[in-house]
């Protein structure tokens, strides 16, 4: 730390992203990326003409992308806000609606970036314990009078609440924002986009990083009431008006047109996920009923950290969290059939 870091940030513990190692070829099952490339049309759209346009700033209104998303989800373009990944969107939202001294509640086991954002922006965070089986107890959120962020499906547990349960939380906290982070929702059937027409305190956040095979492009978005989106834009235009670059806007807008391709990819991942669950259970692992593109698994005898290290040595990257309650679990991204065969071959060897 330099002598110059502002006192407010000196005790900040930053988010730790999954390893992106290049020292050898890995079977990479640690950051929930898609094993499939982006849709063919997306690969074609970044052409020389587009590159030659880069001497100009990107469109700060992102009209091409907000328009495509609005048409896709059946909302007005004024109900769409885009960011440089959904992390960017979540940061803007927590800054805008919780702010210094404001409130935020989230599950104690969830996306580990939420507490970091709360700390960064001086927000009073309440972490609400999950039940013993890692489910979210909906009653714990009913009428709590705090802003709320819930990943649905939750990560790293993979468990999902149904739309009715989300609605109970949103309806019972009318004077607070409820942010539903749907990063993995395309692998479940539980999107609460339909609730947007009914509730002005709901914000739904999604990403192009998982089901749309564009983690490296960095595009995420929020859908909410026009007033909420106006507030997000107020913060964005006070911080970084060009937060999404021209290539990302172009490619993401194209990806929205390629739903049939992505539906096929998602179906294959879901099939592979169910097979992976069965195979791991057959090896004695305890698993949650994940509705995402990863599984969350614990071996009855082998310590998760040991398994993680042994797999890493053998060229397979999975995610291990040395955090309370989950330090004996591994989060394993669902890869291609070939990657999963490779994973199981190494796992069997270790076991
Ligand atoms: N929310 C959840 C629950 C996640 O797991 C992730 C991925 N790390 C994100 C948001 C952020 O994804 P991105 O910034 O790539 O859109």
pLDDT tens-digit readout, 131-146: 999 999 999 999 999 9
Name beta bridge partners: 202. Answer: 178
- What band does 189 get if pLDDT is binned at 50, 70 and 90? confident
What pLDDT shows up at residue 141?
98
Half-sphere exposure of 291 (CA within 13 A, CB side): 18
Residue-wise pLDDT for 201-260, tens only, equals 999 999 999 999 999 999 999 999 999 999 999 999 999 999 999 999 999 999 999 999
CB 79 within 8 A of CB 292: no
What does the H/E/C string look like for 41-67?
Answer: HHHHHCCHHHHHHHHCCCCCCCHHHHH
Q: Does the beta carbon of 201 sit less than 6 angstroms from any atom of ligand 1? A: no
Peptide bond into 249 cis (omega under 30): no
348 Cα–ligand 1 center, Å: 30
Q: Does the beta carbon of 181 sit less than 6 angstroms from any atom of ligand 1? A: yes
Q: Does the beta carbon of 87 sit less than 6 angstroms from any atom of ligand 1? A: yes
Q: Does the beta carbon of 116 sit less than 6 angstroms from any atom of ligand 1? A: no
Predicted confidence (pLDDT) at residue 20 exceeds the cutoff of 90: no
Q: Probe ligand 1: pick from 207, 293, 333, max atoms within 8 Å of CB?
A: 207
Share of the chain above pLDDT 70, in %: 100
Q: Probe ligand 1: pick from 18, 83, 155, max atoms within 8 Å of CB?
A: 155
226: which 2 tokens?
A: 């026009």
CB 327 within 8 A of CB 305: yes
| CB-count burial class (<10 Å; 0-12, 13-18, 19+) for 87 | buried
Residue 79 DSSP symbol: G
CB 293 within 8 A of CB 299: no
What pLDDT shows up at residue 10?
96
CB 222 within 8 A of CB 235: no
Q: Does the beta carbon of 183 sit less than 6 angstroms from any atom of ligand 1? A: yes
What pLDDT shows up at residue 13?
95
The closest-lying atom of ligand 1 relative to the alpha carbon of residue 156 is: 5
4 Cα–ligand 1 center, Å: 31
Residue-wise pLDDT for 32-76, tens only, equals 999 999 999 999 999 999 999 999 999 999 999 999 999 999 999
Cα separation values, 170 from 62, 88, 98, 166, 293, Å: 29, 23, 16, 6, 26
Q: Probe ligand 1: pick from 86, 106, 156, max atoms within 8 Å of CB?
A: 86
Residue-wise pLDDT for 289-334, tens only, equals 999 999 999 999 999 999 999 999 999 999 999 999 999 999 999 9
Distance of CA 88 to the CA centre of its chain: 11
Sheet holding 202-207, edge to edge: 80-83, 220-223, 202-207, 178-181, 148-151, 103-107, 124-128
| CB-count burial class (<10 Å; 0-12, 13-18, 19+) for 89 | buried
Q: Does the beta carbon of 220 sit less than 6 angstroms from any atom of ligand 1? A: yes
What pLDDT shows up at residue 24?
87
What pLDDT shows up at residue 285?
98
Residue-wise pLDDT for 96-143, tens only, equals 999 899 999 999 999 999 999 999 999 999 999 999 999 999 999 999
What pLDDT shows up at residue 52?
94
What pLDDT shows up at residue 82?
98
- Average pLDDT rounded to a whole number, residues 10-38: 93
């Amino acid at each position: 730390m330099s002598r110059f870091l502002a006192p407010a940030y000196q005790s900040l513990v930053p988010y730790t992203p999954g390893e992106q190692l290049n020292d050898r070829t890995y079977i990479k099952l640690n950051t929930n990326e898609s094993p499939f490339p982006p849709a063919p049309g997306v690969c074609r759209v970044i052409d020389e003409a587009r590159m030659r346009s880069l001497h100009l700033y990107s469109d700060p209104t992102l009209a091409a992308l907000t328009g495509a998303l609005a048409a896709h989800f059946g909302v007005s373009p004024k109900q769409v806000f885009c960011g440089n990944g959904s992390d960017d969107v979540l940061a803007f939202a927590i800054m805008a609606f919780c702010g210094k001294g404001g409130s935020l509640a989230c599950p104690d086991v969830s996306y580990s970036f939420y507490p970091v954002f709360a700390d960064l922006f001086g927000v009073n965070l309440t972490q609400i314990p999950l039940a013993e089986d890692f489910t979210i107890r909906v009653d714990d959120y009913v009428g709590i009078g705090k802003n709320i962020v819930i990943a649905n499906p939750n990560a790293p547990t993979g468990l999902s609440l149904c739309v009715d349960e989300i609605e109970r939380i949103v309806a019972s906290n009318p004077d607070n924002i409820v942010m539903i982070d749907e990063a993995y929702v395309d692998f479940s059937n539980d999107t609460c986009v339909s609730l947007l027409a009914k509730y002005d305190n709901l914000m739904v956040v999604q990403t192009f990083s998982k089901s749309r095979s564009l983690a490296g492009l960095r595009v995420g978005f929020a859908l909410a009431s026009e007033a909420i989106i106006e507030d997000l834009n107020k913060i964005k235009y006070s911080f970084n008006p060009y937060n999404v670059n021209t290539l990302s806007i172009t490619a993401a807008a194209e990806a929205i047109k390629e739903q049939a391709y992505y539906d096929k990819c998602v179906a294959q991942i879901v099939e592979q996920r169910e097979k992976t669950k069965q195979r791991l259970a057959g090896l004695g692992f305890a698993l949650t009923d994940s509705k995402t593109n990863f599984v969350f698994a614990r071996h009855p005898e082998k310590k998760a950290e040991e398994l993680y290290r042994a797999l890493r040595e053998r060229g397979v990257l999975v995610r291990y969290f040395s955090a309370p309650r989950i330090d004996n679990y591994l989060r394993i991204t669902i890869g291609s059939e070939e990657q999963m065969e490779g994973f199981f071959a190494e796992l069997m060897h270790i076991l």
